[in-house]
Amino acid sequence: MASTRAIRRRIKSVGGTQQITRAMNLVAASKLQRARQKLESARPFYQETRRVIESLAALSGAESPFLRGRPVRTSGFVVIAADRGLCGGYNVNVCKLAGRLINEKSGESESIVTVGSKSRDYFRRRRKNIVRTFQGISETPFYEDAAEIGHLLTDSFESGEMDEIYLVYTEFKSVVSHVPRAIKLLPVEPDGGGETRPQALMNYEPNPEELLALLIPKYVNTVIYGAMAEASACEQGARMTGMDAATKNSRKLIAALTLEYNRARQGAITQEINEIVGGANAL
């Protein structure tokens, strides 16, 4: 059995860790509240933007480079993860989904844009082709960050460096439910709901091609920003849940160590009594 001094030292160490995890839990809860407010304001806009652009692509019949599919030599992937850990399986789950998608495209070369140091580290260890990394924006994304990423993607698609682009992120369902998702960002695929609905006539000014050339880059920026807002809320929710579980586990560990300490202390007292009695009998 360990000495009482060693057990006291371990109880103190676990207690210090418990204070850290409790503080991190409170910080993550505060950040989650702000992230959810940002997500709730952004989600209706980017979802409706995506629906409108996909419907417009189906109806316009325009000849746009952002709509035309072409033989795929290089697939592009934008993978949104966190800059920090301690958030359970959040980073691993989204990176694994992106990894499976990349492996499915095994006959093609890949170009990966990572958001967050964790996704960068994941694909760097696997020796994948990372063309650009964005760090320090996973927890508090802004539209300007999404616009910078979107500009890189649209330029790469127009120049032929990437023939198709997928966006991989984590969708926020609730504090404890986060679902990794992958969507095709470019070329824009028409709304394929499989339903044949009557469509209203549309007039385009000046023409569908110029309209789509203006709207689709903004659509790309908006969808990326929405995905980053979803991922930010998921990150804070996962971190809050993980730190709460760690705090509860530390309480259980301290209780077990305290019981062990009391047993060791009682055993030491009993041994001292036996030694005193044995010495008295010898005299």
The set of catalytic residues is 87
Kindly state the tokens that stand for 259. 């019981």
Cα–Cα nearest to 28, from 235, 174, 229: 235
Is residue 114 within 8 A of residue 77, CB to CB? The reply is no
SS3 content of the chain, % helix, strand, coil (to 5): 60, 15, 25
Cα–Cα nearest to 231, from 133, 97, 115: 115
Going edge to edge, which strands form the sheet with 177-186?
130-134, 109-115, 74-80, 164-174, 177-186
Distances from the Cα of 2 to the Cα of 5, 7, 63, 260, 267, angstroms:
8, 7, 77, 9, 11
